[in-house]
Amino acid sequence: MEVSGVDLEVLAFIERLGHSLIKLDLLKFFVHNPNFMDTSSGIALRVGRGKEAVALELYDLFLLGILERERLDDSYVYYLSPDRGVRELLARAISKVKF
- 18 pLDDT tier (thresholds 50, 70, 90): low
Q: How far is CA 4 from CA 54, 86, 97, in A?
A: 36, 23, 19
User: Which helix H or strand E contains 99, and what residues bound it?
Assistant: none
Which CATH number covers residue 50?
1.10.10.10
Q: What's the domain range around 80?
A: 2-96
pLDDT of residue 36: 97
User: Which helix H or strand E contains 58, and what residues bound it?
Assistant: helix 51-63
Write down the pTM of the prediction. 0.81
Q: What is the pLDDT of residues 63-89, one digit of tens each?
A: 999 999 999 999 999 999 999 999 999
Number of domains in the chain: 1
Nearest to 21 by CA among 50, 41, 42: 50
Give the span between the Cα atoms of 7 and 47, in whole angstroms: 28
> Could you tell me if 40 and 75 are in contact, meaning their C-beta atoms sit under 8 angstroms apart?
yes
Q: What is the pLDDT of residues 26-65, one digit of tens each?
A: 999 999 999 999 999 999 999 999 999 999 999 999 999 9
